[in-house]
Structure 1
Amino acid sequence: MEDTLQSLTKQISILYSSPKLEPYYLEYFTHKAKNTKLDENTPEVVKTVEKACNELGIRTISRFYKVESDYYEWELQRRAFRLVAPSIDHLCKSVIFENTRCIHDNIDDPLNSKYYCVIVQYIGSINTQKLMNFVRGLKNKSISKKNYNFRVADAEKSIELTGFENNGVSPIGMNKKIPIIISKSITELKPPIFYIGGGHIDWKLALPIKNFINATKCLIADLT
């Protein structure tokens, strides 16, 4: 039974990644996103994300999903099926990283910020050495290595900066304008859609990757 399911999911992923199917998938996705409406029962934090999507000009291509309360107890494949995602590769998360050795506390300069919102696939992991090398390279390595040490920010600090709790963090609509870094592997997904936190643990958001990059002016780095 397990082998059959694995074979089926593999075939579905191959089908979704077909160049011939991609335009139709994107058209269908955009149509559904445009017609996704939030109601009065939607949590305020999700409405904050929606408002930010509107301000960025990407609301009509952003699709919101309300999921079950035990969603994070599920395996990745079940989560992908629930969201009708092309594959588990398309499921992503946003993590706030802190440079504990940064000589300042500012986030104004995306080339040398104390904090970064890093987006990575659930199937991957963030290589902090690569993260450090990338960020240091933004200043042409003019800042000494001793001034870099990246780690996941404390939960309290993450909530303060983003306004979102664990498993609900969205790179859109954060309290503070934290520089965003997206993993290069996400930009290579086919079809080019990714799924991220929607501001609340029970809400997810999906949108085309290119539109997200253009709207947020995020940085792209090889982090895995």
Structure 2
Amino acid sequence: MIETDMEELAELESRQIQILHRIAQLELSILPLSNNSQRQELSTSTTEARLSAVLVHGGVSDFSFKRAPSDYYDRSLEARRDILGAASIHHLCKSIVLVNTQAASDITDCSDRQNSKYYVVVVQYTARFSAESVKNFLYTINNGKIPKKRFNLRLAPEEISHKLTGFEHNGVTCVGMKTDIPVILDEAIAKLHPDFFWLGGGEIDLKLGIRTSEFINFTKPFIVNCSGS
């Protein structure tokens, strides 16, 4: 009985978020073009509502969105930590889209998780990303059947990243992307205590905080040791 009530509550919450999303979209469509500040605020509200609905539908319950000030990226990691209420600067993370520039000519999309043209890597701001570690990981999970020279992970151009995810630079997140891109989570994030980290929230000034275990259940990432201090 309790389980049924919880399922009904989750369904109700999901419907409420979807309604909020539709209202925000309607308001955005009728707002005068000259009122840029209001349009921007509504756009972010729409993004938050849409991504919230995606998360709830995916079984995620422990998450939070926060709006950051416009000069957020000009501030120190310590200041960003305080703005978001993060546990430490190591809990501040980013999502970057990578392209395998040496993939075989017939590898053009993300249909094969183990040998995808593109990957989204989630890494800490305090860490140094290692493309070589990802290369070695992909070589290993393919059982050595694909030559190492066929893996060369590089940062995807911004226009490609935007086309694949639907999000701008500094707003990229693994939630609600246009394309189902395989996710790689740096192992260091999975080991954080407390297990709640922050990453982009779909808009430049919107940040998403999420329980690590729920993020893993939702995105089904490869967990890879792909960074250093």
> Per the shorter chain, which TM-score range?
0.7 to 0.9
The total of aligned residue pairs comes to: 188
Task: Give deviations 1:149-177, integer Å, cap 9, x for gaps.
Answer: 11000000000000000000011110000
**5+ residue gaps, structure 1:** 1-33
Task: Give deviations 1:84-112, integer Å, cap 9, x for gaps.
Answer: 11100000000000000111102011111
Corresponding residue for residue 203 of structure 1: 206
Corresponding residue for residue 50 of structure 2: 48
Corresponding residue for residue 166 of structure 1: 169
Does the CA contact (< 8 Å) of 1:49 and 1:170 recur in 2?
no
Displacement of 1:55: 2.2
CA distance in 1, matches of 2:198, 2:160: 24
**5+ residue gaps, structure 2:** 1-12, 25-41
Task: Answer 1 or 2: higher relative contact order, Cα 8 Å, separation at least 6.
Answer: 1
> What is the RMSD computed on CA atoms of the aligned residues?
1.6
Does the CA contact (< 8 Å) of 1:51 and 1:173 recur in 2?
no
Corresponding residue for residue 153 of structure 2: 150
Corresponding residue for residue 108 of structure 1: 111
**Percent identity over paired residues:** 38
* Secondary structure in 1 matching 2:180: coil
Does the CA contact (< 8 Å) of 1:45 and 1:164 recur in 2?
no
Corresponding residue for residue 138 of structure 1: 141
Which amino acid in structure 2 is aligned with residue 56 of structure 1? G
CA distance in 2, matches of 1:164, 1:206: 17
Pick one of 191, 214, 219 that aligns with 1:216.
219
Corresponding residue for residue 94 of structure 2: 93
TM-score, reference length from structure 2: 0.78
CA distance in 2, matches of 1:213, 1:155: 26
Displacement of 1:42: 4.9
